[in-house]
Amino acid sequence: MRITRAASGVVLAALLASAGAGAEEPQAAPAPEVRLTQPRPRDPSELQVLFWTDAQRSQRFRAWETWFAGHEVSAAATPRALPKGAPLSPELQTELGKLMAETNTAGLMVLHKGKVRYEAYGLGLKPEDRWTSFSVAKSFTSTLLGAAVKDGFIASLDDPVVKYIPKLAGSAYEGVSVRQLATMTSGVSWNEDYTDPKSDVAQMNRFLLEYGPEAIVEQMKRLPREAEPGTKWVYKTGETNLIGVLVENAVGKPLAVYAKAKIVDPAGFAGGLFWMVDPRGGNIGGCCLSLRLADYARMGQFALEGGKGVVPEGWFAEAGKAQVALPDEPGFGYGYQWWAYPGGAYGAQGIFGQGITLVPAKGLVFAFVGNWRQASGGPERERMLEAAAKVAASLE
């Protein structure tokens, strides 16, 4: 039941470091509600995220914008109210509190039909603080993909990827559809192993040094094909970064600017959103936006309610459905940058313990952020999924 691949999508420290070094804006300047921020220069050795100590992670995950460059997006003018509902049973509250302590979780919020049934914090996190997301950002990027379809910037998910990223013409992405990119079934070879210095994800550093703003596309267009498009699933953070490029090319503005209109305002975020920039000055599709715990929950509620008027009708039902079954994970699947769970549930996941788990049948949003002991592969993810299922079973 453990999903070890789900949490592996951190951007390398080299990418993070270069993102803070004089990024330029892509296509269009930010809207008035979005501004580019630059932290003070730091030695690259300080930016080795995977090697930060436990104490450093607990402090820096809630102060990401002081470490890396990005776009600051203002809160919604009219935040969505999250009224208090009846608290969960004392037994469940005790169990969730114990779970948070044992897993080094910084915040956990349970919404049931839009009402807060449980809310707790740890590791020094306060309700008004933000916490970085890592690969939870993938599900935000997916939502902006849906918005671009709804707005007519992208005609169809069955369009070829090269229509929106012409520089991929002649590569293994020739003949790959946007839909296959969204489900990570392009058939293009990719190695996401962070322990292997020769892996594709580890090679991002080399491409950044050689190609700077063109690094994402330059690396991806050199990858070989290992299967026919649509026939094999492989988790690829590089492809979510490509989706980010694709959406930005289609709409003509950074993801953060588009997110202001398509996520932050309609979902009613009460706090600002911070989204890291890459060397292009665009936002990193596969990683690193920061927001309040309550706004993670608001994002979940927005998805549960279908994102009316923002994405095509039925988008989230399709995005959260198992478009492809996961090898060796019975009952689990992958949709459009969302993970499909047993029983019709689905969610977003990020390394070190961020997640939004949705159970549509019960109107449940189970949102959490944390600093788990290791980036991925530990027992915490499974325990959180089990806790969400237990809470769902308790609800009317």
pLDDT in tens, 108-127: 999 999 999 999 999 999 99
For residue 130, what are its two tokens?
């933000």
CA atoms within 13 A on the CB side of 312: 16
Tell me which residue range forms the domain holding 32: 5-394
What is the rounded CA–CA span in Å between residue 101 and residue 122? Answer: 8
Query: pLDDT grade, residue 4 (50/70/90)?
Result: very low
168 pLDDT higher than 90: yes
25 pLDDT higher than 70: no
Distances (CA, A) of 28 to 118, 143, 255, 281: 41, 20, 11, 10
pLDDT at 371: 97
Place of tokens 């952020």: 369
Distances (CA, A) of 315 to 166, 190, 261, 271, 311: 26, 27, 17, 25, 6
pLDDT at 94: 98
Per the DSSP assignment, residues forming a β-bridge with 173 are none
26 pLDDT higher than 70: no
Give the range among 29-33, 56-60, 381-385 with minimum mean pLDDT: 29-33
pLDDT at 30: 63
Host H or E run for residue 334: strand 333-334
Mean pLDDT confidence for 194-199 = 82
Host H or E run for residue 364: strand 364-370
Query: pLDDT grade, residue 63 (50/70/90)?
Result: very high
18 pLDDT higher than 80: no
Count of structural domains within the chain: 1
Q: What sections of the chain are H helices per DSSP?
A: 13-19, 54-60, 90-103, 136-150, 178-182, 204-211, 215-220, 237-251, 255-259, 265-267, 293-304, 315-319, 380-394
* Angle (CA) 376 377 379, round 5°: 110
Query: pLDDT grade, residue 20 (50/70/90)?
Result: very low
Mean pLDDT confidence for 311-334 = 95
143 pLDDT higher than 50: yes
Arithmetic mean of pLDDT over the chain: 91
Greater pLDDT, 141 or 12: 141
**75 contacts: CB under 8 Å, gap ≥ 6:** 264, 269, 270, 271, 272
pLDDT at 250: 98
What is the rounded CA–CA span in Å between residue 292 and residue 62? Answer: 9
pLDDT at 360: 98
pLDDT at 358: 98
What is the rounded CA–CA span in Å between residue 320 and residue 297? Answer: 16
Percent of the chain with pLDDT over 90: 80
87 pLDDT higher than 50: yes
Give the range among 102-111, 314-323, 324-333, 350-359 with minimum mean pLDDT: 324-333
What is the rounded CA–CA span in Å between residue 76 and residue 163? Answer: 33
Greater pLDDT, 49 or 256: 256
36 pLDDT higher than 80: yes
Per the DSSP assignment, residues forming a β-bridge with 333 are 325, 340
pLDDT at 377: 84
Place of tokens 């369009």: 159
Task: Spell out where 75-207 has E strands.
Answer: 105-112, 115-121, 130-132
pLDDT at 343: 94
We report the CATH number of the domain holding residue 12 as 3.40.710.10
